[in-house]
Amino acid sequence: MDQNEKTSLVDKVFSWSIKNILNRDLHKNKATEHCDRCVNGPDGSDRVLDIIRSAKLNTSQEAAILSCLETRNSHHEDSVKLIWGPPGTGKTKTVATLLFCLLKLKCKTVVCAPTNTAIVEVALRLLSLFKETCEPQHSTYGLGNIVLSGNRDRMGIKEDGVLLDVFLDERVGKLANLFSPYSGWKQRLDSLIKFLENTEAKYEKYVHLLEEVERMKEEEMKKKKEAADKKKQETKEVAEQKPKAVKILTFGEFVKKTFERVSEELEKDMVDLYKKKQETKEFVKKTFDSLSEELEKDMVDLYTHLPKSFISLKQVKSMVAARQAFQRVRYFLEENYNREDFKKGSFKFECFNRVISSDCLQALRLLPGRFEVSDMLENKDTKNFCLQNADIIFCTASAAADMNPIRTGPIDLLVVDEAAQLKECESVAALQLYGLRHAVLIGDELQLPAMVHNEFYDGRITDAANVQETIYQKRFLQGNMFGSFSFINVGRGNEEFGDGHSPKNMVEVAVISEIISNLFKVSSEKRMKISVGVVSPYKGQVRAIQEKTKSKYGSLSGDLFTLNVRSVDGFQGGEEDIIIISTVRSNGNGKVGFLNNRQRANVALTRARHCLWVVGNETTLALSGSIWAKLISESRTRKCFFDATEEKNLRDAMNDALLEDVSSSFGSLSIRNGLGRRNAW
């Protein structure tokens, strides 16, 4: 496409047929923006138009969404639309709003991207929009129509992460638990209803059971005592008949004797434990808490993971009412637990049943005992069930090829984010999804693989109004070095090539690790949310930084401080509050390898929301004649150039890294091997 044709942030939406895309006839129907034979507008839905207006989009973003929504009304011809926009112009927000509209219109859509990072970012944006518009009492109702399919570790999905609500493997496990034929939702609901219907009888049964267990244990203990006394008497008689001698036990005899003694003591403890019978009030409270907590989790899982076609809003509201009834029962039991009449054990079942139990029972009896899905899951793969009933399916482009008709059913629309990074074979696989007639491609061919403002886009990118506001500017660390943008010179580093031939620079690793440590300290002390991304074009450096930081930050829950260390390719489509770029290369001849790649530079330089800090060797980068040389010159002009030695903590970190480097070098010397291999700098 001609660069001159691009005129706005989220640019013209061009239309081609899928057939023409596959045949490379991209200029056919290029000017066709609307189809005269189809009804214009997104189904005339006022609700969808309200969503678009409330999203605070600019004119070009709104136009792009409306054009894509019009496409789905065309049933007699297929089409592919392209939305182009440079970094930071709101492509991801536009995609998320488009997907939210498609979700409300129940348009079966597969959303894919080349990397896990990119697809997770789009999914998070959609979930954020979803949560903003839902009822707080059942904020996850409807997520059953959204599925994220992929590898949990590669997508970085944490135990307490919001993505768990839509992650396919998690959903399969939840549904298996809910609809287990012997211990699922229905069985747990019945158990609580039966308990509340006759609490007194349940308590009496509990007491009778304990008494029976206690009686059986006493009988068993009595038999064992009689057997032990008999054996002791026999042993005594034998000993009296023979000369006394010290017998040394064999190992087997010692183990047997010790086991018998320990088991007898354990059984005695068990009898004592059963004798400690719970009082009536304690039994009622603990039993109710146990049963109701399990059922409450089931309710949330039901309206979170079931598609809306299998659970109505009326049923969800009845679950909310039941949960509120649970709270009233818990409050009653908690408030009365320490009252004098309770302490004396005079628990009044009649009062409990009249005041609380009947209210809760009524709410429970309104809950559905069965769902149609239970019969379907018995004869169908659960993953296929989730995919077939989802309206929005997220996956990587390579995984889209596995979305066959048996798994998903027919697809109405394909949305591809970061499309410029896709390989042709991946694009073709995604475009041939069963039933697919329309596709929307979003991307920028100046990024991977297909500075930013003047260097890549001829000065046509301008700051949005919110970015120009003072409130948007954030300072996370003290000092001019840590402003919105800075180049931090690490001139004493040394590039090393390991067995994988991917370079690393341990002095840069030390400097970056120290910066991260300072950011973590600020986040912890001020309770400030900070997300940090460390980007490097070299896998060797990525591994070195991960190894240096994982012990301290690898297990964080992500509530306040998050750290993401990736290669440039892995960061495409992602963004963080602070981005630290490690350029690695440190030599006297200006060799920078594929650091010189303009597309990778474009991606790396456009991932930060608030702060971008580039760490590198000034001399090497200035001699490279690359985009990085221009960046250094620009940073000097803007007074954003700093030397790491200006900060004491960074200087100390560099010195420690250099000492460690020297120590390891001397440690590796030997008469046989001579000097270890190391590049000169």
What is d(CA 296, CA 294) in angstroms, rounded to the nearest whole number? 5
Q: What is the CATH number of domain 454-663?
A: 3.40.50.300
pLDDT of amino acid 387 = 92
Blockwise average pLDDT, block size 10, the chain, 681 residues? 42 52 46 48 65 84 86 74 76 89 92 88 92 87 95 84 92 91 89 80 67 70 72 66 56 62 57 51 81 93 94 94 89 67 53 69 88 69 90 90 82 88 73 85 62 43 48 74 91 79 89 94 90 90 90 69 86 83 89 79 83 92 87 87 92 88 57 39 34
Q: Give CATH 3.40.50.300 domain extents, the chain.
A: 9-171+382-443, 454-663
**What pLDDT is stored for residue 169 in this prediction?**
94
> Nearest-5° angle of CA 434, CA 437, CA 438?
120
Identity of the residue numbered 50 = D
Model confidence, pTM: 0.63
> What are the start-end ranges of the H helices in 242-312?
251-275, 280-305
Alpha helices, H only, 163-243? 168-178, 185-197, 199-241
Radius of gyration of the chain (CA): 34
pLDDT at residue 360, rounded to an integer = 86
Could you give the CA distance from residue 485 to residue 606 in angstroms, rounded to a whole number?
12
**CATH architecture, domain defined by 9-171+382-443:** 3-Layer(aba) Sandwich (3.40)
Q: Is 56 helix (H, G, I), strand (E, B) or coil?
A: coil
Residues 6+ apart with CB under 8 A from 167: 148, 152, 155, 157
- Amino acid identity, residue 56? K
Determine contact, residues 388/408, Cβ cutoff 8 Å: yes
Question: 280-305 and 185-197 helices cross at what angle (nearest 10)?
Answer: 150
**Measuring CA to CA, which residue among 191, 197, 143 is closest to residue 170?**
143
What is residue 336's predicted lDDT score, i.e. its pLDDT? 65
Query: Helices in 337-396 by DSSP H: which ranges?
Result: 340-343, 349-352, 358-365, 372-378, 382-388
pLDDT score of 678: 39
pLDDT attached to residue 519 = 93
Nearest CA-CA partner of 38 in 82, 62, 72, 80: 72
To which residue do tokens 């991977």 refer?
448
Name the β-bridge partners of 489.
Answer: 616, 643
